[in-house]
A and B are shown apart, each in its own frame.
Chain A
């Protein structure tokens, strides 16, 4: 993977410009960015599942997955939930503002294991961000994959992210798109129910299928149980592990769990891998 960052200083980011800000929900925004240096933009590439370290100079650095697809490299996208210092600072920024980017870091979703298979995407809340990179990637090469089912849920209609994508995918005849909310409102006409329950209702077959899931830890925990009921084996299920990361380079020690560093050996793991080292820490 081409490692970007000024030649020898692995901690120094590239300057990127915010070219668009999309408010997703009351506390989530998506940012579209481009490298200030056109040559860098030209040569940059990454794989779905990888992340970057984004700097607001003076506030700090934070980790976000690259949520755009590697098949569309004119700009990058990432989504931010406003929770702490850096995310608050990011939410104050507008089109034209400059921030820093280091990356791409981490491993990626194993496309070779997905090709020729039925794909089941299960996402919750902002967990759709890493999945979205993979979904667009897959849809841009549609013929390499068989049936595609996307199940996405949020707490309420106001918490749904990437509504424009949900719209696009539901209009795609080659995709089965199910959107659900835990609690509806008077205008909501769609599905109501927790993601794991809807998953069992939809009941996709585990035969020749691979499942990829991202979302809040509690959703993942129950979704995995539902997948197990549907016959998915641990090596058929992929997810991203969330652990506090700082350097992204496998050096600062923060994301160390077992013999692995989530920033180097992950964040993408199969359930089989997680079960082998996943102590009680997760």
Chain B
């Protein structure tokens, strides 16, 4: 179903919605882009993508799980509720939206994680088609179309008069009822598709060769030592990655009471798999191999999707420019 809306009406529509929901939109603060409470000002120009992926709005960097109080010999446990309140996320990009889909089965299967799932269900995802390819990105190679996506509730394409909207879900349909939106056709939608200026002639690598290529290079210690040599074992690639989801559980104790938290963790950290007597991934090359193998091979075997959307954040922000694209090109040869 397709709709269209003028810029004027879009602002009015969001103004009305603000009464019912928290609206999060891209804003630049402290020198970086993030999703913030939208003040109904003009939409930011020049927004490519946020520094931190929106995964942090669903898998919180720090989440309190339950609390306890102890006195005398007794202990009382109190579950802490997940956050609630309707949210509308605007300006979400196809890569990050796909990443949320990739994350969903982990938090749904076997033991549903209400903290993640409630965040998903209370958030209306409004997407924005990209007009340029992000530096360092390889979304096209990962099978993501920056201009078309079904991973949203409503997906917007900008046109001179305002926006075209592709309504994808029932929730999206409910939110677009009313006078602000007019009907639009599939033809109008197709016409609004933009040519990406930096689109490459030839893809960097063929995605279908990657899982097998990664599997084949698994025993090649020399390869992994060579490609991971300059890695500094920080957590930037994992924390800025929209599909990375490893976490830690830890307690914060005060006299007589405390809270157990869940927080982000990184397989790049040397202590990640450390046990009392033994660390199976003591060496850096093993940890790097595990990261690449997990995202491009093992996760694919378990969930039939690769845990990477080619957003390029890890490429741009790696302190030593360890470029995952180079590694993928080599394994997929």
Taking Cβ atoms with an 8 Å cutoff, the residues of A that contact B are: 3, 6, 8-13, 15, 55, 57-61, 81, 83-84, 87, 96-98, 100, 217, 242-244, 246-247, 249-254, 256-259, 264, 279-282
Contact = CB atoms under 8 A, between A and B. Distances in A.
Given A6-B77, A59-B251, A251-B113, 9 more contacts: A11-B262, A12-B65, A57-B253, A59-B253, A61-B249, A244-B275, A251-B107, A251-B111, A251-B247
A258 B298 contact: yes
Contacts of A57: 68, 70, 75, 251, 253, 258, 260
Contact of B276 (A61, A83, A249, A250): A83
Interface stretch (B23-31, B41-49, B265-273, B315-323): B265-273
A96 B75 contact: no
B212 interface: no
Contact of B111 (A3, A55, A242, A256): A3
Contact of B219 (A9, A60, A84, A280): A280
Contacts of B65: 9, 11-12
Contacts of A83: 276-277
Contact of A60 (B80, B245, B250, B273): B250
Nearest to A102: B111
Contact of B249 (A96, A246, A250, A258): A246
B222 interface: no
19 contacts: A6-B79, A10-B111, A10-B113, A11-B260, A57-B251, A57-B258, A57-B260, A59-B253, A60-B250, A83-B277, A87-B276, A243-B273, A244-B275, A246-B247, A246-B248, A247-B249, A249-B111, A259-B297, A281-B280
Identify whether the interface residues of A are mostly helix, strand, loop, or mixed. loop
Question: Which of B110, B218, B272 is the most central at the interface, judged by chain A CB atoms within 10 Å of its CB?
Answer: B110
Contacts of A242: 275
A58 B253 contact: yes
Given A83-B276, A243-B273, A252 B77 contact: no
B77 A254 contact: no
A58 B70 CA distance: 10
**Which 5 A-B pairs rank lowest in CB-CB distance, beginning with the nearest?**
A58-B253, A253-B246, A83-B276, A259-B301, A10-B111
B246 A252 contact: yes
Interface of B: 65-66, 68, 70, 73-75, 77, 79-80, 106-107, 109-114, 218-219, 221, 245-251, 253, 258, 260, 262, 265, 267, 272-278, 280-281, 286, 290, 294, 297-298, 301-302
A259 B66 contact: no
Contacts of A250: 106, 109-111
Nearest to A253: B246
B286 A10 contact: no
Contacts, number: 117
A252 B248 contact: yes
A98 to B, nearest CB: 5
A259 B276 contact: no
B219 A98 contact: no
A9 B267 contact: no
Given A9-B66, A251-B113, A244 B274 contact: yes
A249 B301 contact: no
Question: Which of B77, B221, B248, B290 is the most central at the interface, judged by chain A CB atoms within 10 Å of its CB?
Answer: B77
A9 to B, nearest CB: 4
Given A8-B114, A9-B79, A264-B110, A96 B73 contact: yes
Question: Which of B221, B249, B265, B274 is the most central at the interface, judged by chain A CB atoms within 10 Å of its CB?
Answer: B249
A29 to B, nearest CB: 15
Given A3-B111, A84-B276, A254 B75 contact: no
A21 to B, nearest CB: 15
B280 A243 contact: yes
B106 A251 contact: yes
Nearest to A249: B111
